[in-house]
Amino acid sequence: MSKILISSLKILISVGLAGGLMYLVFRNVEWVEFWERAKTVDYTWVIASILLSIVAYVARAYRWNILLEPLGYNLKTSRTLLAVSIGYLANLALPRLGEITRCGVLHRNDKVAVPAALGSVVTERIIDVITLLLLILVSLVVESGRLLNFLKTAYKDLNIPVFALVIVALVGLSGIIILILFVRNQDKLKGKFAELIKGFVAGFLSLKDIKRPIGFFVSTIILWVVYYLMSYIIIFSLPETNHLGLGVGFMLLITGGIALSLPVQSGFGTYHGMIAGMLLLYSVEETTGIFLATLLHTSQIIAIAIFGGVALIISLIIQRKPAAKPTN
């Protein structure tokens, strides 16, 4: 089967899955009521969220520069910002395409070797996954009371046997032990999966070589704080949600992060359904939850389209810099 056919099938499956999920989420929505809600929105908060995304892009570009420095590349943040913005734009076409695209843009404009760029992106993604997991733990602590009350109400007639909980715990412990054994014996293992894990391990260990650890840490904090604010401030745009507290911001952040990480076209359907489901914890009825999710998702798509489009135009006309070759 040709590569073109395989790529086409991937796109069709991704788009078809997104379309099916969107149908399932919106099938019971009363569209007259939905559009009436649009008239009550304070779009100042939506615009503010879109503008905040610029700060997130800059923080990610700056952090990427720090990861590229040990590889011998010293670039301006403005150069990597173009690649990051275009990468986000590419993700609208196909999930995970953005990672490859931004490495290609950096190679075209600054002659950064694609394998080196991809390795740094792997490292970046590892840090993002770890950060998201930590935020999930924080959210579970912050909103534990609300979550437990919701589960008790939703599943009050469900009795989970103790042995089932023990099995779950043993499976989790076994997974951790297998991962440790894998890391310790990775040189003896073969196959694509083994190579993939080796790449993740190598990417993570490369963090020890960064020259500006404080800058890396601060830019990571700024990145996730801005992500939090981008989600949280939009709740003030709706009368039905403007009373919600800081805790919902954490839940919006992690729920949206998980939804967007799934292999579905730009999170269509998964984002809307998961955000609306999460908002039930806060007694936000389904239509309002779907509408808020639509506001959040659409604002992010608009930001990506505008800033990515501008970055693409600039990238096509700027002078390429072949001098940005490895110095070691």
The answer to whether 34 and 272 are in contact (CB under 8 A) is no
Span of 69-83, 168-182, 210-224, 292-306 with lowest mean pLDDT: 168-182
- The whole-number pLDDT of residue 91 equals 86
Task: Report yes or no on 326 lying in a domain.
Answer: no
- The whole-number pLDDT of residue 223 equals 95
- Domains contained in the chain, number: 1
Task: Report yes or no on 9 lying in a domain.
Answer: no
Region 122-141 average pLDDT = 84
* Each residue's pLDDT tens digit, 231-259: 999 999 999 898 888 888 888 888 888 88
* Each residue's pLDDT tens digit, 164-191: 555 656 666 666 676 666 666 656 655 5
SS3 of the chain: the string is CCHHHHHHHHHHHHHHHHHHHHHHHHCCCCHHHHHHHHCCCCHHHHHHHHHHHHHHHHHHHHHHHHHHHHHCCCCCHHHHHHHHHHHHHHHCCCCCHHHHHHHHHHHHHHCCCHHHHHHHHHHHHHHHHHHHHHHHHHHHHHCHHHHHHHHHHHCCCCCCCHHHHHHHHHHHHHHHHHHHHHHHCHHHCCCHHHHHHHHHHHHHHHHHHCCCHHHHHHHHHHHHHHHHHHHHHHHHHCCCCCCCCHHHHHHHHHHHHHHHHCCCHHHCCHHHHHHHHHHHHHCCCHHHHHHHHHHHHHHHHHHHHHHHHHHHHHHHHCCCCCCCCCCC
Task: Report yes or no on 4 lying in a domain.
Answer: no
Q: Is the pLDDT of residue 328 over 60?
A: no
Task: Report yes or no on 327 lying in a domain.
Answer: no
d(CA 21, CA 10): 16
The answer to whether 69 and 206 are in contact (CB under 8 A) is no
Task: Report yes or no on 2 lying in a domain.
Answer: no
Task: Report yes or no on 324 lying in a domain.
Answer: no
Task: Report yes or no on 172 lying in a domain.
Answer: yes
Name the band, by pLDDT with cuts 50, 70 and 90, for residue 53.
very high
Q: Is the pLDDT of residue 274 over 80?
A: yes
Range of the domain at 91: 14-19+30-317
Q: Dmax over Cα atoms in the chain, in whole Å?
A: 67
Task: Report yes or no on 322 lying in a domain.
Answer: no
Name the band, by pLDDT with cuts 50, 70 and 90, for residue 303.
very high
Q: Is the alpha carbon torsion for 15, 25, 233, 136 positive or negative?
A: negative
d(CA 121, CA 100): 9
- The whole-number pLDDT of residue 286 equals 84
- The whole-number pLDDT of residue 301 equals 92
d(CA 297, CA 294): 5
- The whole-number pLDDT of residue 158 equals 45
Higher per-residue pLDDT: 30 or 279: 279
